[in-house]
């Protein structure tokens, strides 16, 4: 039977994955609710979930600078230095002391994005009674439940299952309104996060796009012979059994494989043809074990940019970066700022900066939000193997044009063994669903409240999403600003002051009212902080002038009156 031949030969595709540019991911063609959500979604927003696989050490990512001496005392062999060329990067000098953090020195890209108003940080994300287990921890985060819950569905999947629409899957999908799968998952696993109670996840693997499409078209048995094989539908008596459901899933996969492969190749190639050629990083430039040197995030993010720009309506992407289980040799013995963890943080920071620049160059940056997640954090104290052991709470980062930039929460108490919970992770998830995916708040709270149990307060919206570009622009202006000079009017001298939230090139000059430069005051790299420049005006005639400042993120000017 030809369809049975097709099912038998599905193994030729290998390990149930799909690959673009040698990067594998899952094709979550989904069931009725998946496609209905995408078809009925009132916006074209995209959510990317970046899983930091293994348990990320948040204290060497966001260094508590106000408690630096205690931080160094608790982790003497892995602490990031506060001096030298590889010292931590001060994030934001305008923050209150309890919020002051330094970024790992290899997170230059995150610092740049923060100063642009494109990063939100949430300290102490966890859940009650955290068990510090890799597998159980990931299950809990993906299911959207608590420590005592054992759910066979994920927090995204449950919402999709609740969505009701008149269309019927698979007969009505894909259609003119929704031609794409709702979710694509990169990597070698099928995450619980997308599961619904009765669904069996699907995935397809190939070497490159063209091989996939050629292989599907030439698989023996892909075409039916009329009257010989009515799709191999199982007898009615076993239709609702696990065997019957799985067989029906495989048969639906056969149909959807042929329908979605052409569409994926079409939108991918369309986006690739419009690629603005933004450079993505490939390798870590400093010392680290060989297996940590390649930046695997870059390829995944480039594919997503091409798919979105090419016209894909896929709503959710799951990408991964592994290697965060850093019990030993988290850092190099001779330099705590380098090593495996440093390389991983560099990959996140540099690839995300390129990705945001890529999205901006394509004019689609207002559609995409990225959120990090990890099954747990690490202990406050380091161990004797230049590493850290399993902990509980950790910071979470959000990237995008429409995040509410800043730091939520305060630095953890370093006298404790573990990072205490300040925010239940479901508060973050709920905020993203309500504020970014535009899900009805009652639906979000109902899903989590019904399935998790006591959800009181965990659905509270956090200040993470902001659609007001003006207020985000003000965030930047508050951190890169030119003050009024004093005195003004001035006779022989005046003082011009400005604040910059990062080390950057600064050009400060005076021009006449026609824009002609009459005095260059400053043209060099200046450190982060408040600067006061005394300006000698004796060589200028009385009159009205303009003093200008220009940096990477600021261009401003004010009037100056000179009188004698």
The band of 175, judged by pLDDT with boundaries at 50, 70 and 90, is: confident
- Judge if 356 and 457 occupy the same domain: yes
Mean pLDDT of the region 217-238: 47
- Judge if 259 and 214 occupy the same domain: yes
Q: Residue 523 sits in a domain of what CATH number?
A: 2.60.40.1930
Average pLDDT, the chain: 81
Mean pLDDT of the region 463-492: 91
**Boundary-marking domain end, from 473, 489, 514:** 473
User: What are the pLDDT digits (tens) for 392-419?
Assistant: 999 999 999 999 999 999 999 999 999 9
- Judge if 293 and 405 occupy the same domain: yes
Rounded to whole angstroms, what are the CA distances from 310 to 238, 271, 365?
A: 42, 4, 14
For the chain, how many structural domains are there in total?
Answer: 2
**Boundary-marking domain end, from 473, 494, 518:** 473
CB 149 within 8 A of CB 140: yes
Could you give the residue ranges of the DSSP H alpha helices within 64-133? 68-74, 108-115
Sign of CA dihedral 164, 167, 171, 175: negative
The band of 338, judged by pLDDT with boundaries at 50, 70 and 90, is: very high
Please tell me the distance from the alpha carbon of residue 371 to that of residue 54, in angstroms, as a whole number.
Answer: 16
**Domain range holding 496?**
479-562
Could you give the residue ranges of the DSSP H alpha helices within 362-462? 425-431, 441-452
Of 21-25, 329-333, 406-410, give the lowest mean pLDDT range: 21-25
The band of 43, judged by pLDDT with boundaries at 50, 70 and 90, is: confident
Provide the pLDDT for residue 227.
46
Predicted confidence (pLDDT) at residue 453 exceeds the cutoff of 80: no
Give 354's Cβ-side CA count (13 Å radius).
22
- Judge if 532 and 402 occupy the same domain: no
Please tell me the distance from the alpha carbon of residue 500 to that of residue 157, in angstroms, as a whole number.
Answer: 44
Predicted confidence (pLDDT) at residue 321 exceeds the cutoff of 70: yes
The band of 318, judged by pLDDT with boundaries at 50, 70 and 90, is: confident
Strand partners, 101: 64
- Judge if 406 and 449 occupy the same domain: yes
Sign of CA dihedral 247, 249, 251, 257: negative
The band of 468, judged by pLDDT with boundaries at 50, 70 and 90, is: confident
- Judge if 417 and 538 occupy the same domain: no
Q: Per 3-state DSSP, what percentage of the chain is helix, strand, and coil (rounded to 5)?
A: 35, 20, 45
- Enter the tokens of residue 233: 């539908």
The band of 242, judged by pLDDT with boundaries at 50, 70 and 90, is: low
CB 213 within 8 A of CB 261: yes
Predicted confidence (pLDDT) at residue 30 exceeds the cutoff of 60: no
The one-character DSSP state at 324 is -
- Judge if 313 and 405 occupy the same domain: yes
Please tell me the distance from the alpha carbon of residue 481 to that of residue 560, in angstroms, as a whole number.
Answer: 17
First CA to last CA distance, the chain: 101
- Enter the tokens of residue 34: 């998946």
Mean pLDDT of the region 328-357: 98
- Enter the tokens of residue 424: 């239940």
Provide the pLDDT for residue 5.
46
Of 155-159, 332-336, 553-557, give the lowest mean pLDDT range: 155-159
User: What are the pLDDT digits (tens) for 510-542?
Assistant: 999 999 999 999 999 999 999 999 999 999 999
Minimal CA–CA distance to 72: which of 93, 56, 87?
87
Please tell me the distance from the alpha carbon of residue 325 to that of residue 310, in angstroms, as a whole number.
Answer: 36
Mean pLDDT of the region 291-295: 95
**Boundary-marking domain end, from 473, 505, 534:** 473
Spatial CB neighbours of 214, under 8 Å, sequence gap ≥ 6: none
């Amino acid at each position: 039977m030809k369809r049975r031949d097709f099912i038998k030969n599905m193994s030729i595709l290998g390990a149930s994955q799909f690959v673009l540019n040698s990067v594998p991911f899952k094709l979550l063609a989904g069931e009725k609710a998946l496609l209905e959500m995408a078809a009925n979604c009132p916006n074209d927003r995209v959510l990317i979930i970046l899983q930091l696989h293994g348990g990320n050490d948040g204290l060497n990512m966001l260094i508590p600078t106000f408690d630096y001496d205690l931080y160094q005392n608790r982790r003497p062999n892995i602490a990031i230095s506060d001096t030298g060329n590889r010292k931590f990067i001060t994030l934001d000098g305008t923050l209150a002391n309890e919020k002051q953090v330094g970024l790992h020195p290899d997170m230059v890209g995150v610092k740049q994005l923060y100063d642009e108003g494109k990063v939100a940080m949430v300290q102490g994300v966890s859940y009650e009674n955290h068990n510090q287990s890799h597998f159980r921890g990931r299950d809990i985060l993906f299911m959207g439940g608590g420590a005592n819950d054992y759910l066979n569905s994920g927090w995204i999947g449950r919402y999709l299952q609740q969505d009701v629409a008149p269309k019927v899957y698979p007969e009505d999908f894909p259609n003119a309104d929704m031609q794409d799968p709702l979710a694509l998952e990169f990597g070698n696993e099928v995450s619980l996060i997308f599961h619904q109670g009765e669904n069996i996840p699907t995935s397809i693997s190939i070497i490159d796009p063209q091989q996939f499409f050629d292989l599907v078209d030439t698989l023996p048995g892909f075409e039916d012979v009329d009257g010989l094989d009515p799709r191999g539908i199982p007898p009615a008596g076993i239709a609702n059994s696990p065997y019957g459901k799985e067989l029906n899933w495989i048969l639906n996969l056969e149909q959807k494989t042929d329908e979605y492969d052409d569409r994926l190749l079409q939108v991918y190639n369309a986006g690739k043809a419009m690629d603005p050629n933004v450079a993505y990083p490939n390798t870590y430039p400093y010392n680290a074990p060989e297996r940590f040197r390649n930046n695997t995030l870059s390829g995944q993010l480039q594919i997503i940019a091409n798919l979105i720009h090419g016209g894909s309506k896929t709503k959710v992407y799951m990408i991964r970066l592994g290697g965060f289980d850093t019990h030993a040799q988290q850092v190099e013995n001779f330099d705590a700022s380098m090593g495996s963890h440093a390389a991983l943080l560099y990959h996140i920071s540099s690839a995300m900066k390129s990705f945001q620049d890529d999205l901006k160059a394509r004019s689609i940056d207002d559609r995409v939000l990225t959120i990090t997640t990890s099954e747990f954090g690490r202990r406050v104290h380091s161990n004797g193997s230049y590493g850290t052991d399993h902990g509980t709470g950790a910071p979470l980062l959000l990237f995008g044009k429409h995040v509410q930039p800043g730091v939520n929460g305060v630095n953890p108490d370093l006298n404790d063994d573990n990072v205490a919970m300040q925010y239940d992770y479901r508060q973050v998830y709920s905020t993203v669903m309500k504020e970014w995916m535009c899900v009805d708040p009652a639906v979000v709270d109902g899903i989590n409240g019904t399935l998790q149990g006591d959800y009181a307060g965990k659905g509270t919206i956090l200040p993470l999403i902001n659609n007001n570009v003006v207020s985000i622009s003000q965030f930047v202006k508050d951190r890169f600003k030119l003050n009024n000079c004093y005195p003004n009017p001035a006779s022989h001298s005046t003082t011009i002051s400005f604040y910059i939230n990062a080390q950057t090139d600064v050009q400060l000059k005076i021009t006449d009212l026609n824009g002609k430069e009459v005095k260059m005051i400053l043209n060099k790299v200046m450190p982060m902080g408040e600067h006061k420049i005394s300006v000698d005006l004796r060589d200028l005639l009385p009159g009205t002038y303009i003093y200008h400042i220009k940096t990477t993120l600021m261009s401003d000017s004010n009037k100056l009156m000179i009188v004698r």
